[in-house]
Structure 1
Amino acid sequence: MVDPTTEPLLVLVSRIAVAFGIGALIGLERERSESGGTFAGSRTFPLFAIFGALVQAFFPDLLPVALIALALPLTVAYGGKIMTEGDLGLTTLTAALLTVVLGALATHSHRGMVLSIIAGGVVTALLSAKGTIHGFVDRIDESERRASVKFVLVVLVVLPLLPDRELAVLFGLNPRFVWLMVVFVTGLSFVAYVLSRTVGAERGIALTGVLGGFVSSTATTVSMAERSTDAPSLYRICAFSTVIASIVMFPRAAVEIAVVNPALLPHVAVPLGAMTVTGTLVAGLVYWRSTPESAIETDVENPFRLRPALFFGVVFAGVLLVSESAHSWVGASGVYVTAFLSGLADVDAISITLSRLAAEGAISQQVATTGIVIGAIANTLVKAGLAWLLGTRRLALLVTAILGVVSVVGLGFALVQF
């Protein structure tokens, strides 16, 4: 850590200014809040931040003492607020103490300053979203809440206990990496699930496809197919939602690849990007020729459920073992067959697996890229099959035609670029 007192005066002043800005941002939000404005607002919070910044800059060893010294009068003031207003909320008191810490972070180091800016923005957004968050919680039933709590507890308990090394008893698998990928993929789905719940029943058809695709493209396809059966005249708008939900898995796969193997992303981005753009343009044309309905719903479940997460972990571990073995025994063709079969069930598993193998040098970037595209194509074929099985003939023909074009484009770009 660099001693702030030895840095140029301008640098120290700029960091204190950052602390002031963070405090002002949080203070303005608390001033606007009915519950927080009378306790501390737009003047008090910047003072909290400057207090933390100055203590950290010149008396860093006394920061814990300073926090305790500030907590005492804050607690007294909070008690007075409870007596006069009857408000038992701890949000503003907690935000005040956190503002002091963020101010101290700003003068701790350059990394601390950057972190304090990010954290300050997150804190402000979280405080501002009180109504949205409470509304979201109210829309979740008790069974979903219990499922979420169980999943989070298992993650917190299991992940630290898993060994972070390859185990012979698991055929060379790293159990912590496998479980970490389970948590990562489920987290992506949960973000989209939260957004879909937040937007609610009034969301438009485009958002239905996008959010439904991130949570479960299969569920979205089934829902749209059944919808087209109930109302055949809506086959175009249902096809649009189905295609959008299907192609959302391409940028989702790109995010997963960027996390696991950033070096592979430039190669995979070309075919996946071409597939996404092609599918969006053709689906957009279908949407333009249709009559949108404002509240087509998809039945998506909370992805924070233990059984689906464990199932994905088993699938991912199996795909990882089979892909590596198939490449050793048969070469690239073995990887492609595995990618196709795996893609019929799930794109996430094969995308992460091949990215991992490419990062370790077990397979080439060309094989990984082509395999990921083949897995994505296999999954689009499943969506077309569901449209034929559960939807109307018009829906099935339109979905098959669009996804067929998307698949040809993606495979073509994957083969041409190497």
Structure 2
Amino acid sequence: MESIEPFERLGLALAIGAIVGVERHWRERDEGGGKRTAGIRTFMITGMLGGVSGLIEQMLSAPVTRHGLVTIAMFVTFSVIFALYQYRESGAEGNFSVTSVITAMTTFALGALAVVGNAPLAAAGGVALVAILASREILHRFVRNLSWDELRSAIVFLAMAVIVLPILPTAPVGPFGGISPSGTWLLVVLLAGISFLGYVAVKAFGQVQGELVAGAINGLVSSTAMAVTNARLSATGQSAILLVAGAMAANAVSYLKVLLYVAILAPSIAERLGPALIAASFLMIGFSFVFIKNDTIKHTESHTRNPFELFAILKTALLLVVVGFLARAAATWFGKSGLLVVSTLSGLADVDAITVTIAGILDTIGTEFAATALGTAVIANTVAKMTYALILGDRAYSGRFILVSIAAIIGGIFMFETTPMMEWLVMEGLPK
């Protein structure tokens, strides 16, 4: 360490104790002197004590430093003394919370880390500790309002994403490029996450605003999965109008996402296809607000809705995997010369991949053909969503979804066909 660095690190340990002490002292600010085990001063000294123990370690011989005996001894001694005093206070007040003891131990450890370890990590740990302490009311209210279905769904989702997904092989299996077990399960996790996110959005923002918020967010991830999820939910008796509005919001955002991709990767395609994508997305957004405005049904929060139904999600994921496999097989049969066919088939499952592909070969196919191929993929993707709505959704949902989608396709095609003419008229109207 340089001569000034120990002072800086010890100051950080003291600061960590100070911010923790402010929160702890504030909660017991009405208590008189000597009525609380620890306040701002005690926690400042606790952070400093952890830092001092780290400094002592560095000044001692290597064997002791290597094993951290000084820090361990001081930590154990401090924890026992603090716990005894807290035990006496808890007995007098009838309070069985151990939060202050754990907080003091953590403050000591962060103070030691600030001196002998990673200082930025110690600072971040101190801020995180204070944030957790200050969120007591929010966390307690969250747990009180948490249902068993929500807790179970969150646990299952975490197991799917954190335990199962990492152990699956990523190498494709089968012909025509194969199917990746990891990629397939990732699709299952994606569908489950979208379903759970939609549930949380509805619960947080209400039935009406929640569907739009969920749709807009999920449009950035997978509008196809959102359309499939909402179609499936409509068959369970939930509001078809709100579910269509959410699916349309997702579709609109997905169109704008395609435009953003090509604007970054191939600006010339964005100039040619952009007006059509914007027109189609605005039509979908407009219809979403019209549906919601004309929705006269008084919606109440559904307490029976499952955040996600695993078996239904597995069946939906299998459907999308089959479609994607057929698309790759057809692309292999047609070869590179059938780019429009490949774009159409790829768009049945996903637009992102074909967007990147077309942008990468722009120099060989030209802007006009690239825009046409990408537009074809977008239309195919929309038609696929219409098919999913027809198969999975009820009549009220599928009818509205298909009508709005057709209107958006027609509006986009009209804009695509007339844009060159409008550009020509603008150029001819310019003074020579």
When the two structures are superposed, what TM-score results if normalisation uses the length of structure 1?
0.60
Is 1:76 paired with 2:67? no
Aligned to 2:210: 207
Q: Secondary structure at the match of 1:295?
A: coil
| 1:326-366 deviations in Å (ceiling 9; x for gaps) | 43332433443434544xxxxxxx357658x859x899996
Q: Which has the larger radius of gyration?
A: 2
Contact kept in structure 1, 2:354 and 2:377, CA below 8 Å: yes
Aligned to 1:346: none
| 1:12-32 deviations in Å (ceiling 9; x for gaps) | 589668746753675478669
Aligned to 1:242: 244
Determine the C-alpha separation between the residues in 2 that align with 1:292 and 1:28.
50
Contact kept in structure 1, 2:22 and 2:39, CA below 8 Å: no
Determine the C-alpha separation between the residues in 1 that align with 2:134 and 2:191.
24
Change (3 A) 1:122 1:335: farther
Which residue, out of 326, 333, 342, partners 1:329?
333
Determine the C-alpha separation between the residues in 1 that align with 2:255 and 2:18.
37
Determine the C-alpha separation between the residues in 1 that align with 2:4 and 2:416.
52
Alignment of 1:33-112 (within 5 A): 62=68, 65=72, 67-80=75-88, 82-99=90-107, 108-109=117-118, 112=121
Which residue, out of 280, 283, 286, partners 2:285?
280
Is 1:132 paired with 2:141? yes
| 1:111-158 deviations in Å (ceiling 9; x for gaps) | 637854874576357534223322332x334xx655654554455543
| 1:239-263 deviations in Å (ceiling 9; x for gaps) | 46522343236558999999xxxx7
Which residue, out of 10, 16, 20, partners 1:23?
20
* AA matched with 1:161: I
Length, aligned pairs only? 381
* AA matched with 1:135: R
Contact kept in structure 2, 1:225 and 1:390, CA below 8 Å: no
| 1:90-121 deviations in Å (ceiling 9; x for gaps) | 55544554455566677755763785487457
* AA matched with 1:244: G
| 1:258-280 deviations in Å (ceiling 9; x for gaps) | 9xxxx779999968777555433
Contact kept in structure 2, 1:27 and 1:44, CA below 8 Å: no
Aligned to 1:166: 171
Change (3 A) 1:186 1:252: farther
Aligned to 2:378: 373
Higher mean Cα deviation, 215-224 or 67-76? 215-224
Determine the C-alpha separation between the residues in 1 that align with 2:22 and 2:279.
41
Contact kept in structure 2, 1:136 and 1:198, CA below 8 Å: no
Determine the C-alpha separation between the residues in 1 that align with 2:130 and 2:3.
29
Aligned to 2:62: none
Change (3 A) 1:385 1:28: farther
Is 1:183 paired with 2:186? no
When the two structures are superposed, what TM-score results if normalisation uses the length of structure 2?
0.59
When the two chains are superposed, the root-mean-square deviation of aligned CA atoms in Å is: 5.8
Alignment of 1:177-326 (within 5 A): 177-180=183-186, 182-197=188-203, 203=206, 205-211=208-214, 220=230, 223=234, 239=241, 242-248=244-250, 251=253, 277-285=282-290, 287-288=292-293, 293=298, 295=300, 300-303=305-308, 306-308=310-312, 310-311=314-315, 314-315=318-319, 317-318=321-322, 321-326=325-330
Determine the C-alpha separation between the residues in 1 that align with 2:313 and 2:392.
26
Determine the C-alpha separation between the residues in 1 that align with 2:96 and 2:141.
20
- Unpaired runs of 5+ in structure 2? 30-34, 59-64, 219-224, 421-432
Contact kept in structure 2, 1:16 and 1:53, CA below 8 Å: yes
Higher mean Cα deviation, 52-61 or 94-103? 52-61
Contact kept in structure 2, 1:52 and 1:103, CA below 8 Å: yes
